[in-house]
Amino acid sequence: NRGWRYHVSLHVWLVRSDQGELKERTTSHETGFYNVFDPVEWRKVRRELELQYNQLEGRPRLPESLVEPSGSQYFQADASNSSPGSS
């Protein structure tokens, strides 16, 4: 995912900028520079933002039916040899 997150209030995708450190970080927000994707120009734009963590969409999760109890993904690279009921 390369660290991109969706901001639900601003309706933009963003990621921390490689250039510039965080200016402030608390348990509820952080202030710093972020690369924001501009879909009109189809490019990243560097912006300084105060980012409230509760305004970020949660990370996507696989449905439980696709996850084995051990936490590994159900589908393997060679699923033909590991299908249920085959020996």
Per residue in 30-40, pLDDT (tens digit) is 999 999 999 99
Local structure of residue 7 (DSSP, 8 states): E
Query: What pLDDT sits at residue 80?
Result: 45
Is the pLDDT score of 29 beyond 90?
A: yes
CATH of domain 5-76: 2.30.30.1020
Give the pLDDT score at 70: 59
Give the per-residue pLDDT at 77. 44
Residue 2 falls in which region: left (phi positive, over 0), alpha (psi -120 to 50) or beta: left
Confidence bin at 64 (pLDDT 50/70/90): confident
Query: The whole model's pTM is what?
Result: 0.64
Short-list 78, 83, 22, CA closest to 49: 22
Q: Which residues is 44 bridged to in the sheet?
A: 37
The per-residue pLDDT for range 74-85, each reduced to its tens digit, is 444 444 444 445
**What is the per-residue pLDDT for 54?**
94
